[in-house]
Amino acid sequence: MSESPGDLIVAFRSFGRRLDEAMEPTKKDPSLADKGTPSARELAAELAALVTEAGRVLRVDTSGDVKAAGAAVADAIAAVPPDKWDDARLEQLRSLALNGGRLLRQIEAAIGAARA
């Protein structure tokens, strides 16, 4: 992922959908969410905290689920004029986005391992 705000918008907007997809198997077998260390549920909580942190960086309300919070962050990123971005804030959001992707992959792996 580059540091462009457009890439960050796509990333944060996708977190809710990707989390729903990763957690889909837990609808049929809820116990899958709590198996493993860390569990998919714990990792999902980390993802929610990460999106909340991005909201703090942008000074936006991130109440609600990851999908709503991610959309709020994406909207806030889109609202910043290109000439108003500073490297430090872009790097902070980039780091959060990369960690969000990592957490989603860990959630998928945790559920996969729990199903095995």
Tokens standing for 52?
A: 């909340």
d(CA 7, CA 89): 14
**Which residues lie closer than 8 Å to 4 by C-beta, 6 or more apart?**
none
Full-model pTM: 0.93
Each residue's pLDDT tens digit in the chain (116 positions)? 456 899 999 999 999 999 999 999 999 999 999 999 999 999 999 999 999 999 999 999 999 999 999 999 999 999 999 899 999 999 999 999 999 999 999 999 999 999 88
Angle at 38 between CA 114 and CA 16, to 5 degrees: 85
